[in-house]
Chain A
Amino acid sequence: MYDAGKVYLGLAIFIGIFTFGFYYSHGTAAPQPKPSIDTPEINKMAKKQCVEDTEFMRSSHMKLLVEWRDEALRNGNRTFVNSRGEKIKISLQNTCLKCHSNKKDFCDRCHTYAMTAPYCWDCHIDPNGGKL
Protein backbone atom coordinates (compact mmCIF):
# COMPACT_ATOMS: atom_id res chain seq x y z
CA MET A 1 0.00 0.00 0.00
CA TYR A 2 1.31 3.41 -0.97
CA ASP A 3 1.52 6.10 1.70
CA ALA A 4 0.30 3.73 4.43
CA GLY A 5 1.60 6.08 7.16
CA LYS A 6 -0.38 9.04 5.83
CA VAL A 7 -3.51 6.93 5.43
CA TYR A 8 -3.37 5.63 9.02
CA LEU A 9 -2.61 9.10 10.32
CA GLY A 10 -5.56 10.49 8.38
CA LEU A 11 -7.84 7.72 9.69
CA ALA A 12 -6.72 8.39 13.26
CA ILE A 13 -7.40 12.11 12.90
CA PHE A 14 -10.80 11.39 11.36
CA ILE A 15 -11.82 9.00 14.15
CA GLY A 16 -10.53 11.49 16.70
CA ILE A 17 -12.63 14.33 15.30
CA PHE A 18 -15.64 12.09 14.70
CA THR A 19 -15.79 10.85 18.29
CA PHE A 20 -14.82 14.17 19.84
CA GLY A 21 -18.34 14.92 20.97
CA PHE A 22 -18.56 11.69 22.94
CA TYR A 23 -15.31 12.34 24.82
CA TYR A 24 -16.08 15.97 25.36
CA SER A 25 -19.49 15.52 26.96
CA HIS A 26 -18.65 12.29 28.80
CA GLY A 27 -19.76 12.41 32.42
CA THR A 28 -21.50 15.76 32.05
CA ALA A 29 -25.04 14.41 31.57
CA ALA A 30 -27.72 17.00 32.23
CA PRO A 31 -29.31 16.31 35.61
CA GLN A 32 -32.79 14.83 35.62
CA PRO A 33 -35.32 17.67 35.69
CA LYS A 34 -37.27 18.20 38.87
CA PRO A 35 -40.61 19.84 38.03
CA SER A 36 -41.64 22.00 40.94
CA ILE A 37 -45.05 21.62 42.57
CA ASP A 38 -44.40 24.47 44.98
CA THR A 39 -47.35 26.72 44.16
CA PRO A 40 -49.84 28.43 46.49
CA GLU A 41 -52.73 26.40 45.10
CA ILE A 42 -50.98 23.03 45.54
CA ASN A 43 -49.60 23.94 48.98
CA LYS A 44 -53.17 24.59 50.10
CA MET A 45 -54.20 21.02 49.31
CA ALA A 46 -54.44 18.57 52.21
CA LYS A 47 -53.54 15.65 49.95
CA LYS A 48 -51.36 16.67 47.07
CA GLN A 49 -52.79 14.87 44.06
CA CYS A 50 -53.46 15.71 40.45
CA VAL A 51 -56.57 14.69 38.49
CA GLU A 52 -55.07 11.21 38.19
CA ASP A 53 -52.20 9.64 40.13
CA THR A 54 -48.69 10.98 39.65
CA GLU A 55 -47.34 7.98 37.73
CA PHE A 56 -50.14 8.20 35.18
CA MET A 57 -49.82 11.96 34.82
CA ARG A 58 -46.06 11.69 34.36
CA SER A 59 -46.33 9.13 31.58
CA SER A 60 -49.64 10.00 29.92
CA HIS A 61 -50.56 13.64 30.59
CA MET A 62 -50.29 14.36 26.88
CA LYS A 63 -52.79 11.63 26.01
CA LEU A 64 -55.15 12.90 28.68
CA LEU A 65 -54.86 16.43 27.32
CA VAL A 66 -55.71 15.29 23.79
CA GLU A 67 -58.72 13.41 25.17
CA TRP A 68 -59.78 16.51 27.09
CA ARG A 69 -59.38 18.65 24.01
CA ASP A 70 -61.62 16.45 21.86
CA GLU A 71 -64.13 15.90 24.64
CA ALA A 72 -64.53 19.61 25.39
CA LEU A 73 -64.35 21.01 21.88
CA ARG A 74 -65.84 18.38 19.62
CA ASN A 75 -68.23 16.57 21.97
CA GLY A 76 -69.12 19.64 24.01
CA ASN A 77 -68.57 17.79 27.28
CA ARG A 78 -66.52 19.96 29.59
CA THR A 79 -66.63 17.73 32.64
CA PHE A 80 -64.13 14.94 33.18
CA VAL A 81 -64.73 12.15 35.67
CA ASN A 82 -61.44 10.72 36.88
CA SER A 83 -60.71 7.23 38.21
CA ARG A 84 -61.50 8.44 41.75
CA GLY A 85 -64.96 9.50 40.59
CA GLU A 86 -64.29 13.22 41.00
CA LYS A 87 -65.75 15.66 38.51
CA ILE A 88 -63.24 18.05 37.02
CA LYS A 89 -63.73 20.94 34.63
CA ILE A 90 -61.89 20.30 31.39
CA SER A 91 -59.63 23.26 30.69
CA LEU A 92 -55.89 23.59 30.20
CA GLN A 93 -55.79 27.29 31.05
CA ASN A 94 -58.36 27.27 33.84
CA THR A 95 -57.88 23.87 35.46
CA CYS A 96 -54.32 22.62 34.88
CA LEU A 97 -52.69 26.02 35.18
CA LYS A 98 -54.80 26.98 38.18
CA CYS A 99 -52.82 24.57 40.38
CA HIS A 100 -49.69 24.44 38.25
CA SER A 101 -49.39 28.20 38.20
CA ASN A 102 -45.64 27.84 37.67
CA LYS A 103 -45.49 26.77 34.02
CA LYS A 104 -41.84 27.81 33.83
CA ASP A 105 -40.79 25.55 36.71
CA PHE A 106 -43.25 22.77 35.97
CA CYS A 107 -44.13 22.21 32.31
CA ASP A 108 -41.08 23.81 30.78
CA ARG A 109 -38.48 22.00 32.92
CA CYS A 110 -39.22 18.56 31.49
CA HIS A 111 -40.14 19.78 28.04
CA THR A 112 -36.83 21.59 27.72
CA TYR A 113 -34.95 18.53 29.01
CA ALA A 114 -36.75 16.24 26.56
CA MET A 115 -36.35 18.80 23.75
CA THR A 116 -40.06 18.82 23.03
CA ALA A 117 -41.84 22.02 22.09
CA PRO A 118 -45.57 21.35 22.48
CA TYR A 119 -47.56 23.83 20.42
CA CYS A 120 -50.18 24.22 23.17
CA TRP A 121 -48.69 27.58 24.03
CA ASP A 122 -48.96 28.97 20.50
CA CYS A 123 -52.55 29.72 21.43
CA HIS A 124 -53.12 28.88 25.09
CA ILE A 125 -52.03 31.52 27.55
CA ASP A 126 -50.14 30.97 30.76
CA PRO A 127 -52.29 33.23 32.97
CA ASN A 128 -49.35 33.81 35.33
CA GLY A 129 -46.72 34.06 32.62
CA GLY A 130 -46.71 37.85 32.58
CA LYS A 131 -46.11 37.93 28.84
CA LEU A 132 -47.25 36.36 25.60
Chain B
Amino acid sequence: MSIDRRKFLKMAGLTALGLSGTGAYELLKPGALEASHGHDAHGSGHGSEAAEDKNRTRWAMLIDMTRCEAADVEKASHACHHAHNVPDMENPKHAIKWLWGETYEGTFPDSHNEYQAHELEHKTFPLMCNHCDKPPCVRVCPTQATFRRPDGIVAMDYHRCIGCRFCMAACPYGSRSFNFVDPRTALKFEDLNKKFPTRYPGAVEKCNFCVERLADGLQPACVEAVPHVFTFGNLADPDSNVRKILRERTSLRRKLELGTKPSVFYLV
Protein backbone atom coordinates (compact mmCIF):
# COMPACT_ATOMS: atom_id res chain seq x y z
CA MET B 1 0.00 0.00 0.00
CA SER B 2 1.40 3.33 -1.01
CA ILE B 3 0.72 6.52 0.87
CA ASP B 4 0.92 10.02 -0.54
CA ARG B 5 1.96 13.12 1.30
CA ARG B 6 -1.61 14.43 1.67
CA LYS B 7 -2.82 11.21 3.28
CA PHE B 8 0.20 11.03 5.59
CA LEU B 9 -0.30 14.58 6.84
CA LYS B 10 -4.00 13.92 7.50
CA MET B 11 -3.23 10.85 9.59
CA ALA B 12 -0.38 12.54 11.47
CA GLY B 13 -2.66 15.46 12.25
CA LEU B 14 -5.39 13.20 13.57
CA THR B 15 -2.89 11.28 15.71
CA ALA B 16 -1.51 14.49 17.21
CA LEU B 17 -5.04 15.64 17.98
CA GLY B 18 -5.84 12.35 19.67
CA LEU B 19 -2.69 12.45 21.79
CA SER B 20 -3.32 15.98 22.94
CA GLY B 21 -6.93 15.21 23.82
CA THR B 22 -6.23 14.41 27.46
CA GLY B 23 -4.17 17.55 27.79
CA ALA B 24 -6.90 19.65 26.22
CA TYR B 25 -9.47 18.15 28.54
CA GLU B 26 -7.27 18.92 31.52
CA LEU B 27 -6.89 22.50 30.27
CA LEU B 28 -10.60 23.06 29.94
CA LYS B 29 -11.71 21.24 33.10
CA PRO B 30 -8.75 21.02 35.50
CA GLY B 31 -8.80 18.07 37.86
CA ALA B 32 -12.00 16.59 36.42
CA LEU B 33 -10.25 13.61 34.86
CA GLU B 34 -8.20 12.80 37.92
CA ALA B 35 -11.18 13.11 40.22
CA SER B 36 -13.18 10.72 38.08
CA HIS B 37 -10.40 8.17 38.56
CA GLY B 38 -10.93 8.24 42.28
CA HIS B 39 -7.62 9.90 43.20
CA ASP B 40 -9.48 12.55 45.09
CA ALA B 41 -11.74 10.16 46.94
CA HIS B 42 -10.02 10.36 50.32
CA GLY B 43 -12.68 12.23 52.15
CA SER B 44 -12.17 15.61 50.58
CA GLY B 45 -15.88 15.74 49.88
CA HIS B 46 -16.90 15.68 53.50
CA GLY B 47 -15.38 17.60 56.35
CA SER B 48 -14.59 20.80 54.51
CA GLU B 49 -14.87 23.95 56.60
CA ALA B 50 -17.51 25.45 54.39
CA ALA B 51 -20.10 22.88 55.37
CA GLU B 52 -21.74 23.88 58.62
CA ASP B 53 -23.47 21.20 60.57
CA LYS B 54 -23.94 20.89 64.30
CA ASN B 55 -24.17 17.14 64.09
CA ARG B 56 -20.91 16.79 62.24
CA THR B 57 -17.50 16.81 63.89
CA ARG B 58 -14.42 18.43 62.45
CA TRP B 59 -11.72 18.67 65.10
CA ALA B 60 -9.47 21.70 65.23
CA MET B 61 -6.78 23.09 67.53
CA LEU B 62 -6.41 26.72 68.55
CA ILE B 63 -3.09 27.96 69.92
CA ASP B 64 -3.14 31.29 71.74
CA MET B 65 0.26 32.80 70.92
CA THR B 66 -0.28 35.83 73.16
CA ARG B 67 -0.19 33.51 76.18
CA CYS B 68 2.28 30.95 74.92
CA GLU B 69 5.81 30.97 76.34
CA ALA B 70 8.70 28.71 75.35
CA ALA B 71 8.22 26.78 78.60
CA ASP B 72 4.60 26.05 77.65
CA VAL B 73 5.71 24.52 74.36
CA GLU B 74 8.23 22.44 76.23
CA LYS B 75 5.58 21.29 78.69
CA ALA B 76 3.05 20.43 75.97
CA SER B 77 5.67 18.60 73.95
CA HIS B 78 6.70 16.60 76.98
CA ALA B 79 3.10 15.67 77.82
CA CYS B 80 2.43 14.64 74.22
CA HIS B 81 5.61 12.64 73.83
CA HIS B 82 5.03 10.88 77.13
CA ALA B 83 1.43 10.02 76.26
CA HIS B 84 2.48 8.48 72.96
CA ASN B 85 5.79 6.88 73.91
CA VAL B 86 7.77 9.10 71.57
CA PRO B 87 11.49 8.51 72.16
CA ASP B 88 13.94 11.32 72.80
CA MET B 89 16.70 10.48 70.32
CA GLU B 90 20.25 11.60 70.95
CA ASN B 91 21.07 12.00 67.27
CA PRO B 92 19.05 14.95 65.90
CA LYS B 93 18.83 13.19 62.53
CA HIS B 94 16.83 10.42 64.20
CA ALA B 95 14.55 12.79 66.11
CA ILE B 96 10.87 11.86 66.36
CA LYS B 97 8.59 14.87 66.71
CA TRP B 98 4.87 14.97 67.39
CA LEU B 99 4.76 18.41 68.96
CA TRP B 100 7.76 20.71 68.91
CA GLY B 101 8.81 24.36 69.01
CA GLU B 102 9.83 26.54 66.08
CA THR B 103 10.66 30.22 65.45
CA TYR B 104 8.23 32.59 63.77
CA GLU B 105 10.26 32.45 60.58
CA GLY B 106 10.25 28.67 60.62
CA THR B 107 6.51 28.59 61.26
CA PHE B 108 5.42 31.19 58.71
CA PRO B 109 8.33 31.43 56.25
CA ASP B 110 6.21 33.14 53.61
CA SER B 111 4.98 35.98 55.84
CA HIS B 112 8.22 36.72 57.63
CA ASN B 113 9.74 40.15 57.18
CA GLU B 114 12.76 41.95 58.53
CA TYR B 115 10.68 44.55 60.41
CA GLN B 116 8.68 41.95 62.31
CA ALA B 117 7.12 42.88 65.64
CA HIS B 118 9.55 41.79 68.36
CA GLU B 119 6.77 40.17 70.32
CA LEU B 120 6.15 37.64 67.52
CA GLU B 121 9.69 37.38 66.20
CA HIS B 122 11.03 35.91 69.42
CA LYS B 123 8.15 33.61 70.26
CA THR B 124 8.43 29.85 70.18
CA PHE B 125 5.56 28.44 68.13
CA PRO B 126 4.34 24.96 68.95
CA LEU B 127 4.06 22.90 65.76
CA MET B 128 2.20 19.66 65.16
CA CYS B 129 0.37 17.84 62.41
CA ASN B 130 -2.14 20.26 60.89
CA HIS B 131 -4.75 17.58 60.15
CA CYS B 132 -5.48 19.18 56.79
CA ASP B 133 -8.81 19.10 55.04
CA LYS B 134 -6.97 18.11 51.89
CA PRO B 135 -3.97 16.21 53.24
CA PRO B 136 -1.27 15.66 50.61
CA CYS B 137 0.21 12.84 52.72
CA VAL B 138 -3.01 10.84 52.36
CA ARG B 139 -2.99 11.38 48.61
CA VAL B 140 0.45 9.90 48.15
CA CYS B 141 0.33 7.00 50.63
CA PRO B 142 0.49 3.84 48.52
CA THR B 143 -0.97 1.56 51.20
CA GLN B 144 -3.54 3.95 52.67
CA ALA B 145 -1.71 3.57 55.96
CA THR B 146 -2.46 7.23 56.52
CA PHE B 147 -6.05 8.25 55.95
CA ARG B 148 -8.54 10.94 56.81
CA ARG B 149 -11.26 10.10 59.31
CA PRO B 150 -14.74 11.61 58.89
CA ASP B 151 -14.03 13.83 61.91
CA GLY B 152 -11.09 15.39 60.08
CA ILE B 153 -8.28 13.63 61.92
CA VAL B 154 -5.51 12.45 59.62
CA ALA B 155 -4.79 9.11 61.24
CA MET B 156 -1.97 6.62 60.86
CA ASP B 157 -2.46 2.87 60.70
CA TYR B 158 1.02 1.72 61.65
CA HIS B 159 0.10 -1.85 60.77
CA ARG B 160 0.04 -0.82 57.14
CA CYS B 161 2.97 1.60 56.96
CA ILE B 162 5.73 0.25 54.75
CA GLY B 163 8.08 3.15 55.46
CA CYS B 164 8.29 4.50 51.90
CA ARG B 165 8.26 8.07 53.28
CA PHE B 166 6.22 9.48 50.39
CA CYS B 167 4.04 11.17 53.04
CA MET B 168 7.10 12.87 54.52
CA ALA B 169 7.99 14.25 51.10
CA ALA B 170 4.40 15.35 50.53
CA CYS B 171 3.79 17.04 53.89
CA PRO B 172 4.57 20.77 53.57
CA TYR B 173 4.76 21.17 57.35
CA GLY B 174 7.45 18.61 58.23
CA SER B 175 5.01 17.03 60.64
CA ARG B 176 6.12 13.47 60.03
CA SER B 177 9.07 11.60 61.48
CA PHE B 178 10.68 8.39 60.34
CA ASN B 179 11.96 5.73 62.70
CA PHE B 180 15.48 5.26 61.39
CA VAL B 181 16.39 3.24 64.46
CA ASP B 182 14.36 1.09 66.83
CA PRO B 183 12.50 3.63 69.02
CA ARG B 184 12.58 1.12 71.87
CA THR B 185 16.33 1.56 72.23
CA ALA B 186 15.65 5.13 73.45
CA LEU B 187 12.68 4.25 75.67
CA LYS B 188 12.64 2.93 79.20
CA PHE B 189 9.87 0.58 80.28
CA GLU B 190 9.31 2.46 83.54
CA ASP B 191 8.70 5.75 81.71
CA LEU B 192 6.25 4.34 79.18
CA ASN B 193 2.56 5.10 78.95
CA LYS B 194 1.43 1.48 79.28
CA LYS B 195 -1.87 2.25 77.59
CA PHE B 196 -0.30 3.19 74.24
CA PRO B 197 1.98 1.20 71.94
CA THR B 198 5.40 2.16 70.61
CA ARG B 199 6.39 2.07 66.92
CA TYR B 200 8.72 -0.19 65.01
CA PRO B 201 11.83 0.81 63.07
CA GLY B 202 10.83 1.75 59.51
CA ALA B 203 7.48 3.34 60.35
CA VAL B 204 6.50 6.97 59.86
CA GLU B 205 4.71 8.61 62.76
CA LYS B 206 3.08 11.91 63.67
CA CYS B 207 0.59 13.67 65.92
CA ASN B 208 -2.78 11.90 65.95
CA PHE B 209 -4.82 14.66 67.67
CA CYS B 210 -4.96 12.20 70.58
CA VAL B 211 -7.58 10.10 68.85
CA GLU B 212 -7.23 7.43 71.56
CA ARG B 213 -7.94 9.99 74.29
CA LEU B 214 -10.89 11.48 72.40
CA ALA B 215 -12.38 7.97 72.25
CA ASP B 216 -12.27 7.91 76.06
CA GLY B 217 -13.87 11.36 76.26
CA LEU B 218 -10.62 13.08 77.24
CA GLN B 219 -9.01 16.20 75.82
CA PRO B 220 -5.73 15.91 73.89
CA ALA B 221 -2.62 15.63 76.07
CA CYS B 222 -1.26 19.08 75.09
CA VAL B 223 -4.59 20.74 75.95
CA GLU B 224 -4.62 18.98 79.30
CA ALA B 225 -1.02 20.00 80.03
CA VAL B 226 -1.28 23.67 78.93
CA PRO B 227 -4.99 24.57 78.90
CA HIS B 228 -4.40 28.34 78.78
CA VAL B 229 -2.66 28.05 75.38
CA PHE B 230 -4.29 25.13 73.58
CA THR B 231 -8.02 24.94 72.85
CA PHE B 232 -9.53 21.95 71.12
CA GLY B 233 -13.00 21.82 69.61
CA ASN B 234 -15.40 21.20 66.79
CA LEU B 235 -14.93 23.47 63.80
CA ALA B 236 -18.11 22.29 62.09
CA ASP B 237 -20.38 23.54 64.86
CA PRO B 238 -20.87 27.34 64.59
CA ASP B 239 -21.60 27.54 68.34
CA SER B 240 -18.54 25.58 69.48
CA ASN B 241 -15.81 26.96 71.73
CA VAL B 242 -13.29 27.18 68.91
CA ARG B 243 -15.66 28.94 66.50
CA LYS B 244 -16.53 31.52 69.16
CA ILE B 245 -12.85 32.31 69.70
CA LEU B 246 -12.13 32.37 65.95
CA ARG B 247 -14.90 34.93 65.45
CA GLU B 248 -13.26 37.29 67.95
CA ARG B 249 -9.54 36.79 67.40
CA THR B 250 -7.12 37.14 64.51
CA SER B 251 -5.82 33.75 63.53
CA LEU B 252 -3.03 32.51 61.30
CA ARG B 253 -2.69 29.15 59.63
CA ARG B 254 0.46 27.75 58.11
CA LYS B 255 1.04 27.84 54.35
CA LEU B 256 -2.59 28.49 53.41
CA GLU B 257 -1.57 29.22 49.83
CA LEU B 258 -0.95 25.52 49.28
CA GLY B 259 -4.64 24.78 49.65
CA THR B 260 -4.26 21.99 52.21
CA LYS B 261 -6.66 23.76 54.61
CA PRO B 262 -4.89 23.07 57.90
CA SER B 263 -6.96 22.85 61.08
CA VAL B 264 -4.39 24.23 63.53
CA PHE B 265 -4.96 27.93 64.16
CA TYR B 266 -2.45 30.34 65.74
CA LEU B 267 -4.15 33.22 67.53
CA VAL B 268 -2.02 36.37 67.47
Contact = CB atoms under 8 A, between A and B. Distances in A.
Interface of A: 69, 73-74, 76, 78, 93-94, 119, 122-125, 127, 129-132
Contact of B215 (A69, A78, A127): A78
Contacts of B195: 93-94, 127
A132 B157 contact: no
9 contacts: A76-B149, A76-B150, A78-B215, A122-B200, A123-B198, A125-B194, A131-B189, A132-B189, A132-B192
Contacts of B192: 125, 132
Nearest to B199: A123
Nearest to A128: B194
Contact of B197 (A74, A124, A130, A131): A124
B197 to A, nearest CB: 4
A123 B189 contact: no
Interface in B25-66: none
Could you say which interface size class chain B belongs to?
20 to 34
Contacts of A131: 189
Contacts, number: 42
With most chain B CB atoms within 10 A of its CB, the pick from A78, A93, A131, A132 is: A132
Given A73-B159, A130-B189, A132-B184, 8 more contacts: A73-B155, A76-B151, A76-B211, A94-B195, A119-B200, A123-B198, A123-B200, A125-B189
Nearest to A126: B194
A63 to B, nearest CB: 15
B197 A93 contact: yes
Contact of B157 (A74, A94, A125, A130): A74
A69 B200 contact: no
Shortest Cβ-Cβ A-B pairs, 9 listed: A127-B194, A123-B197, A122-B200, A124-B197, A132-B184, A78-B215, A73-B157, A131-B189, A132-B189
Contacts of A122: 200
Contact of B198 (A74, A78, A125): A125
A122 to B, nearest CB: 4
Contact of B158 (A76, A93, A123, A130): A123
A131 B159 CA distance: 22
Contacts of A125: 85, 189, 192, 194, 196-198
A127 B194 CA distance: 5
With most chain B CB atoms within 10 A of its CB, the pick from A76, A129, A131 is: A76
Contacts of B187: 132
B4 to A, nearest CB: 63
A130 B192 CA distance: 11
Contacts of A130: 189
A127 B187 CA distance: 14
B230 to A, nearest CB: 22
Contacts of A74: 147, 157
A93 B189 contact: no
Nearest to A66: B159
Contacts of A94: 195
Contacts of B151: 76
